[in-house]
Structure 1
């Protein structure tokens, strides 16, 4: 895991839950930047040249560790049973559906580091609203 004053990254080992087969281990890279304080980018390395990337609300992952969270395309909830605390993450898109099982400990550690960078409730202090407006007007 790496972090600086404004960014944090980590690799997270998780398992793709495959029907009628054992779970398939994968690695996901988590990226956080104070420049986009509400979001976490998750890159799934699935053997292709380019990883599959999703953007998650930081709060969604945080809440999903303790209780079900999310509607629609992304849902997160704590898993029941087993020796290791895990969290389930389900992703849905027009191209398919995937469910992952991830260990809570490294995910919680990563999230903790993001809150050290941009504390909860203070995210707006890290957003340059003028730059955001200019970017959207010039696109």
Structure 2
């Protein structure tokens, strides 16, 4: 699952652009680009030896995604209680299936912006973090603001 062209994501995004709110649409695009970058880094982790550098990059990309999702929720008027939810997130399935479910959660939230859909999107992203071995201490509000 190696995404080589960010332009492909941009084209796909612009084909379904909701011209009603460009700020939100750009936020969705940014989240999809972060997911593509995460997928590429995960693929590199499986095949390269310099895993410490790649793990640092993976954490940085993951934080970037969390920031975008939190901003998306804020822009839509939803609060995220992700700190409380994180310890209870259960991990199941494989990574590629989960990435597809995450893209589906983004698409569902785009169509129906509700608190339930936002919580589902955030939960899917937090589950991805657990699958990647990212600890709660790694993604505190303080670390996201730095």
Q: Do the two structures share a fold, i.e. TM-score over 0.5? A: no
Q: Which has the larger radius of gyration?
A: 1
| Length-normalised TM-score, structure 2 | 0.26
Which structure's residues are more often helix, by fraction?
2
TM-score in terms of structure 1 length = 0.26
Higher strand residue share: 1
